[in-house]
Amino acid sequence: MPNSPTEPKDSQQRRAAKPIICYEVDSLPPYDDAFYEKAKHGMTKVAEVIAPARDAATFKVPAGHFFRIVSVDGPQVGDLNLWNENDLSEKFFSGKTRQLHASHVTKGDRLWSNLPNLRPMATITEDTLSWYGWDDDGAGVHDVIGTRCDPYTNYLLKEVDYNNCCHSNLTRALANEKSISSDQAEPHVHDVLNVFMCTGFTKDTYQYFMKASPVRPGDFIEFFAEIDLLGALSACPGGDCGGEHSSDVTQCYPLLIEIYKPAEGSLEGWSPQERNRYGGKHISSL
Ligand SMILES: [Zn+2]
């Protein structure tokens, strides 16, 4: 057994350093409630898509439209992927979204795209579960911590093949949408927004945990598309994620995606978000 490190004499002093929020998000444009409320007023539903239980579906949302993910039939968690509809290499960046906002997102937060694009892909404009906040276990809803359930981790832990993990569902859905093979589609599948999922880190060991989602039929989370979006949503085989995962045992339900067109003229003066303007080419100034 190697010796465990000796705690230094100034350990207390080192631990007493004050936490500092990493990113000064106050410099970002504030959430414009009046703008989004005006755009929502009189909007019309133009499409509906169902993500079947234990499977995924794709959907398109033009820039300036809204989309909702709606709980129907029973409590169900969804794993969401987003791409620039015109360029699959631009996709949702859950890690930076987590750093800019929080481990769980709600109304007013934005879903950011990967480098070098780093722009808002969508803004959350409604969340019927925002009342949940943080519970006594330290859990919240709609996390950007977890990745997505996948057949590789499942095999690693259980040594069985299971083909309806969210990773596989999203891969199949994208392959169907783009008429490409699953091998071609798989690299585009990325870390998700865990819609309706209730998660946190344990207080003693800081391990990622899940608990039964508080979502009920009729609840929804609503987004405004800041650019043209292609989305894929998987109705997770974990159901409400309150029990067994990655099997056909758990009760699962479909999820509904609704696409809304804003009222005529309500977006006057608005234009889709532009890609990040960093132009330094990584040239060192040392
Ligand atoms: Zn899943």
The CA 135 to ligand 1 mean position distance, Å, reads 22
Own/partner contacts of 168-171, CB < 8 Å, gap of 24 or more, are 169/54, 169/55, 169/56, 169/79, 169/234, 169/235, 170/56, 170/79, 170/81, 170/232, 170/234
The CA 147 to ligand 1 mean position distance, Å, reads 9
C-alpha distance from residue 245 to each of 27, 136, 249 (Å)? 40, 23, 8
What pLDDT sits at residue 15?
A: 97
The CA 84 to ligand 1 mean position distance, Å, reads 22
What pLDDT sits at residue 24?
A: 85
What pLDDT sits at residue 247?
A: 73
The dihedral region occupied by 211, where left means phi > 0, alpha psi between -120 and 50, and beta the remainder, is: beta
What pLDDT sits at residue 3?
A: 79
Phi, psi of 257, deg, nearest 5: -115, 130
Q: List the chain pLDDT tens, one digit each, 286 residues.
A: 567 899 999 999 999 999 999 998 888 999 999 999 999 999 999 999 999 999 999 999 999 999 999 999 999 999 999 999 999 999 999 999 999 999 999 999 999 999 999 999 999 999 999 999 999 999 999 999 999 999 999 999 999 999 999 999 999 999 999 999 999 999 999 999 999 999 999 999 999 999 999 999 999 999 999 999 999 999 999 999 998 777 788 999 999 999 999 999 999 999 999 999 999 899 998 8
The CA 151 to ligand 1 mean position distance, Å, reads 10
Residue pair 78/235 in contact (Cβ under 8 Å)? The answer is yes
What are the domain boundaries of the chain?
35-261
What pLDDT sits at residue 1?
A: 59
The CA 254 to ligand 1 mean position distance, Å, reads 13
The CA 271 to ligand 1 mean position distance, Å, reads 34
Residues with C-beta atoms within 5 A of ion ligand 1: 79, 149, 166, 236
The CA 150 to ligand 1 mean position distance, Å, reads 7
The CA 57 to ligand 1 mean position distance, Å, reads 14
Nearest-angstrom CA–CA distance, 264 and 36: 14
What pLDDT sits at residue 229?
A: 98
Phi, psi of 133, deg, nearest 5: 60, -130
Sheet holding 110-112, edge to edge: 44-51, 255-261, 66-71, 220-225, 120-127, 110-112
The CA 64 to ligand 1 mean position distance, Å, reads 29
Among 110, 142, 99, 97, residue whose Cα is nearest residue 30: 110
The CA 219 to ligand 1 mean position distance, Å, reads 19
Residue pair 53/248 in contact (Cβ under 8 Å)? The answer is no
The CA 208 to ligand 1 mean position distance, Å, reads 14
The CA 185 to ligand 1 mean position distance, Å, reads 18
Question: For 266-286, b where at least 16 C-beta lie within 10 A, e where not — what string?
Answer: bbeeeeebeeeeeeeeeeeee
What pLDDT sits at residue 223?
A: 98
The CA 218 to ligand 1 mean position distance, Å, reads 21
The CA 153 to ligand 1 mean position distance, Å, reads 12
